Amino acid sequence: MSAAESELRSPYLPKRLRNARRDRGMTQETVAAQLGLARTSLVALEKGERAVRPEELVAMARLYGRSVDDLLRPTAPVEDFVGQFRTSLSRSADAEELEQAIRMVEHYAEDYRELERRAGVAANRPVERQLWTLAHELAHFLTRRLAAEITVAKAHSPGRVPAHERFADAFAGEFLMPTSGLTRDFNAILRTRPDGVTPGALVELAGFYGVSFQALLVRLEGLGLLARGTFDMLEHEGFSVAEARRLLGLSTRESDARVFPARYVTLAVDAYREGKISEGAFARFLRVDRITARDVARALGQLD
């Protein structure tokens, strides 16, 4: 199979074609008529049940106002953002304008990822750092989402961090490591470990909370549970978190790229196992084909 044929059989192309048509506000009937196809043929193209011919791809790219390169990007399209705001949009008088803005954010995310791919930049920051960033930005969203954001390089010295940034960091710390729970778990280490609180015990605790070793120690220092400068001292002494994790048998966390939360999948598996939904319905709930759905059920130990 040539490179061109391989691109036309990309598993991501059907969804990109659906998204491009949707963003253009065109129905399947309209597009099929313009391409000289039966609607059933267009449905098959958008479902990946039939390979797209080169001339069809060129025609659709022109029709949707997209480049062929955009439609053939080798990465999975970003998940539909609009669906996350469907309830809010249904209550808004500006729903159409808001949906257009959300679609624009989707396109920006797509372009950002494509630029990273072309530049050979791996967007693989540690999961712990990703979680901290999400919690930090959530604080900004909750308190400053209507405020203009202007960031100037070196606008402030390390000792003059803006108040809203200090708040966002404090929020992230409390959100990911609640005071009551963290204090309880830290004191449990003191009570149950004869050698007290060791760096290894703290590495395990950081893994439990899903945060970086540094974030945990800074938080414990802030709560007065560890002496100020503990992290700096360990770093100066050459303590290796990666080596400690290896010796403790702690695996590196991988980013969770699942579309649905674990509870959703578990509910679907349970309903399938108990005969409350058919295999076809089970696959539809998970947005996968039947073979993949059965693999999910087996992986969760719910299918004999």
pLDDT tens-digit map of 226-235: 999 999 999 9
Separate counts of helices (H) and strands (E) for the chain: 18, 0
266 located within any domain: yes
- Within this chain, do residues 6 and 90 fall inside the same structural domain, yes or no? no
Q: What is the pTM of this model?
A: 0.51
Q: Determine which helix (DSSP H) or strand (DSSP E) holds 257, and give its type and residue range.
A: none
Query: pLDDT (tens digit, 9 = 90+) per residue, 25-70?
Result: 999 999 999 999 999 999 999 999 999 999 999 999 999 998 898 8
Banded model confidence at residue 197, pLDDT cuts 50, 70, 90: confident
- Within this chain, do residues 221 and 177 fall inside the same structural domain, yes or no? yes
Banded model confidence at residue 289, pLDDT cuts 50, 70, 90: confident
- Within this chain, do residues 61 and 182 fall inside the same structural domain, yes or no? no
C-alpha span between 193 and 80 (Å, rounded): 48
The answer to whether residues 195 and 163 touch, using CB atoms and an 8 Å cutoff, is no
Beta strands in 212-304 (DSSP E): none
| CA dist list (Å): 180 to 7, 186, 189, 214, 227 | 53, 10, 15, 20, 19
Banded model confidence at residue 302, pLDDT cuts 50, 70, 90: very low
Number of domains in the chain: 4
- Within this chain, do residues 140 and 237 fall inside the same structural domain, yes or no? yes
For residues 165-191, give the mean pLDDT: 94
pLDDT for residue 244 = 85
For residues 268-280, give the mean pLDDT: 84
304 located within any domain: no
- Within this chain, do residues 137 and 176 fall inside the same structural domain, yes or no? yes
Q: Which residues contact 103 (CB under 8 A, 6 or more apart)?
A: 23, 81, 82
- Within this chain, do residues 160 and 44 fall inside the same structural domain, yes or no? no
Assess whether pLDDT exceeds 50 at residue 303: no
pLDDT for residue 155 = 46
Residue-range definition of the domain harbouring residue 4: 1-77
- For residue 140, give both structure tokens: 């900004």
109 located within any domain: yes
Assess whether pLDDT exceeds 90 at residue 179: yes
| CA dist list (Å): 159 to 155, 166, 176, 224 | 12, 11, 25, 21
- Within this chain, do residues 109 and 134 fall inside the same structural domain, yes or no? no
148 located within any domain: yes
Query: pLDDT (tens digit, 9 = 90+) per residue, 186-196?
Result: 999 888 877 77
- Within this chain, do residues 217 and 252 fall inside the same structural domain, yes or no? yes
- Within this chain, do residues 90 and 42 fall inside the same structural domain, yes or no? no
- Within this chain, do residues 33 and 116 fall inside the same structural domain, yes or no? no
What CATH number has the domain bearing residue 17? Answer: 1.10.260.40
- Within this chain, do residues 160 and 275 fall inside the same structural domain, yes or no? no
- Within this chain, do residues 145 and 252 fall inside the same structural domain, yes or no? yes
C-alpha span between 176 and 174 (Å, rounded): 6
